[in-house]
Amino acid sequence: MTLSAEHVGRLRELLAQPRQRFVIVAHTNPDGDAVGSSLAWAEVLRGMGHEVTCIVPNKYPYFLDWMPGIERIIVFKNDAEGAAARAIGQADAIFCLDFNAVSRLEILRDTIAANTTARRILIDHHLSPDEGFDLSFSYPDASSTCYIVFCLIETLFGVGSISLPMAEVLYVGMMTDTGNFAFSSLTPGLFRAVAALVERGIHIPTIHNNVYNAYTEGRARLFGYAIDRKMQLIENGTVAYMSLMEHEMRRFQFQQGDSEGFVNYALTIKKMKMSAMFLAHRKFIRVSLRSRGDVDVNLFARKYFNGGGHKNAAGGKSFLSMQETIDHYIRSVREFAEEGGLGA
Ligand code: 5GP
Ligand code: MN
């Protein structure tokens, strides 16, 4: 990946100012890439003598608890003392990591919007980023924000500046956003980055185990239930969907992050083109979409579920009931297929 030399130059200037107050924010329902890139970038900025506050709108999943430095991240939703709002109010610059639009911050959005003087720097790999960032490192072809952060660090300071904890958290984002190096955008550059992280001392089996083999018994049983009882196939078995209501999640002691990977599972069926997961929330239904090959769920999410994401992994929201949401999905898939969205 080639970073824009002009943008790197502007970033260098910004970082060269002494003792800046920086805030790093990542998206709602932060995942391995959002958390990993935030933690690594925070360490870079702290290493330069800046004051850094990392903020996420709501809690990250429990299988990321082990990540070095994660305890310093402020969860805005649980921040009774208002430390996040204070840091945002005083920030000289706000780094926006792993999301493309301030609306993706949801409950944190207004607090960020209220600081009209801080410069906003985007570091992200989602399609169609919002305009209005003062400096933008938007690379939709990059497989993760962690990979972009790695490239920034490499360009600014060289890989020798990457500490072991930084290497570990960067690897988490590279691993999770590529489905353990199975999806698209797997470039030689990415594997060179992984090689550099191995040289910094990361132990891949341990990280893999920490992230993927750290679930509860309830989650394992919920998975079996969801696949057997809730997965439905339409469009001649080429499109799937699955839904979980709050009472079903309670039955299996659901914790945030427990449904991670469910939506992908339907795509293990040979002729499957697209899969959806509808997860009930207090105020709305969270929609997760996955697809294979040329089927573009970013487009689908934008058109039918007021969302977005990547070509093969996107999401959105529905404010209808579960049944109405499913009916809307089935109708939308039909229309999408008629317009050629599912290919031949
Ligand atoms: P997930 O299904 O893992 O929650 O999200 C998959 C992808 O879709 C992620 O890249 C995420 O950023 C994006 N995404 C999820 N929900 C939304 C949403 O409500 N709006 C937009 N624009 N993107 C979303
Ligand atoms: Mn990401």
- Enumerate helices (H) and strands (E) in the chain, giving the number of each: 13, 12
pLDDT at 160 exceeding the cut of 90? yes
pLDDT at 88 exceeding the cut of 90? yes
pLDDT at 123 exceeding the cut of 90? yes
- The arithmetic mean of pLDDT across residues 130-137, rounded, is 95
Spell out which residues line ligand 1, taking CB within 6 angstroms: 27, 29, 104, 126, 288, 307-310, 313-317
The shares of helix, strand and coil residues in the chain, as percent rounded to the nearest 5, are: 45, 15, 35
Tokens read off for 236: 């001649």
Contacts of 153-161 spanning 24+ positions with Cβ under 8 A: 153/40, 153/44, 154/193, 154/196, 155/3, 155/8, 156/8, 156/11, 156/12, 156/15, 156/44, 157/44, 159/196, 159/199, 159/200, 161/44, 161/47
Ligand 1 atom nearest 288 alpha carbon? 2
Residue 261, Ramachandran bin (φ over 0: left; ψ between -120 and 50: alpha; else beta): left
Cα of 15 vs centre of ligand 1, distance in Å, is 30
- The arithmetic mean of pLDDT across residues 238-251, rounded, is 98
How far apart (Å, rounded) are the C-alpha atoms in residues 329 and 312? 17
pLDDT at 60 exceeding the cut of 90? yes
Tokens read off for 337: 């297929």
C-alpha 114 chain-centroid distance: 24
Ligand 1 atom nearest 100 alpha carbon? 22
Residue 344 confidence (pLDDT): 80
268 and 179 in contact (C-beta within 8 Å)? Answer: no
Residue 299 confidence (pLDDT): 97
- The arithmetic mean of pLDDT across residues 61-76, rounded, is 98
pLDDT at 126 exceeding the cut of 90? yes
Cα of 168 vs centre of ligand 1, distance in Å, is 24
Ligand 1: residue of 288, 297, 299 to mutate (most ligand atoms within 8 A of CB) is 288
- The arithmetic mean of pLDDT across residues 159-187, rounded, is 96
pLDDT, one tens digit per residue, over 176-215 is 999 999 988 999 999 999 999 999 999 999 999 999 999 9
Strand order in the sheet with 135-138: 74-75, 51-56, 21-26, 93-97, 119-124, 135-138
Indicate which ligand has the atom closest to the C-alpha of 306.
1
Residue 290, Ramachandran bin (φ over 0: left; ψ between -120 and 50: alpha; else beta): beta
Indicate which ligand has the atom closest to the C-alpha of 309.
1
| Residue listed under structure tokens 């020798």 | 160
How far apart (Å, rounded) are the C-alpha atoms in residues 94 and 97? 10
Indicate which ligand has the atom closest to the C-alpha of 173.
2
Tokens read off for 153: 């660090």
For the chain, percent of residues with pLDDT exceeding 90: 98
Residue 184 confidence (pLDDT): 83
Ligand 1 atom nearest 29 alpha carbon? 4
Residue ID of nearest Cα to ligand 1 atom 20: 307
Residue ID of nearest Cα to ligand 1 atom 3: 288
Cα of 191 vs centre of ligand 1, distance in Å, is 25
Cα of 104 vs centre of ligand 1, distance in Å, is 9
Cα of 280 vs centre of ligand 2, distance in Å, is 23
Residue 1 confidence (pLDDT): 87
Residue ID of nearest Cα to ligand 1 atom 14: 315
Tokens read off for 295: 């089927």
How far apart (Å, rounded) are the C-alpha atoms in residues 27 and 104? 6
Helix (H) or strand (E) holding 121: strand 119-124
Q: What is the mean pLDDT of the chain?
A: 97
Amino acid (1-letter code) at residue 231: M
How far apart (Å, rounded) are the C-alpha atoms in residues 124 and 247? 36
